[in-house]
Amino acid sequence: MKIGLIAANGRAGSHILREARMREHDVTAIVINKANLRMRNVKTMEKDLFHLTKEDIEPFDVLINAFAPSTGEAHLHVKAGKHLISLLEGTNKKLFVVGSSGCLYIDQDHTIRLMEHQEFPEHLRESAHYQLQNLHDLQNSSIQWTFLSPSVIFDSEGPRTGHYIIGRERLVVNSQFNSYLSYADFAVAVIDELENKNYVNTVFTVASENVTSAS
């Protein structure tokens, strides 16, 4: 599988890059500045995602969008999503999107999203709103896509356990009743899905055990 990984130098992207390489996938890091990559000896494409062309993505089977806009620029989730959809239209390539926990439902009837809950962090609300708009654009597109939402607690320092609980569009919790996920286990779930193709043109979410708290 040939993977183009956008924002491979970010928190989610760097973990996905490590997992993909560990499993010996052919992955190219798409970054503005390869000097910022945390891994060395990685195939790279130095380019802003907004300047990507159909020719640029031709070698890839999958594009992973791990783009995380700077504070105050959350609207770029929508712009980036529309651009990537336009690049993949008319192809058999897949777009895999790193989503937001705020997009997940918290009730059985799927009427209330997490971002609408009063305890959802205010600084994440705007980003979740625009990521939900990106999700709607995906749902209305003709491309093949998957949107993976992390848990509420998204831990960049957490361990790679290799195990996780799967949910669809509703928030899931672990055995400690925490909506917790390490970035490392998120990356495991990303590559597992690309290999197994269980959630095509849909949303899913995962949670993992908070090993540190449990010990």
What pLDDT was estimated at residue 36? 87
Name 160's Cβ contacts closer than 8 Å, sequence gap at least 6: 182, 184, 185, 187, 188
Mean pLDDT of 135-149: 98
User: What's the pLDDT score for residue 212?
Assistant: 60
Question: β-strand 165-167 against 202-207: which pairing, if any?
Answer: antiparallel
Digit-coded pLDDT (tens) for 26-68: 999 999 999 989 888 899 999 999 999 999 999 999 999 999 9
pTM of structure: 0.94
Task: Find the range with the poorest average confidence among 14-18, 39-43, 129-133, 202-206.
Answer: 39-43
Cα–Cα distance between 199 and 92 in angstroms, integer?
A: 16
- Tokens coding 119: 């305890």
Q: What does pLDDT average to over the chain?
A: 94
Average pLDDT over residues 150-171: 94
**What's the burial of 166, exposed, middle or buried (CB within 10 Å: 0-12/13-18/19+)?**
middle
With a cut of 90, say whether residue 211 has pLDDT above it: no
- Rounded to whole angstroms, the Cα distance separating 188 from 19 reads 6
Can you tell me the mean pLDDT for 159-183? 95
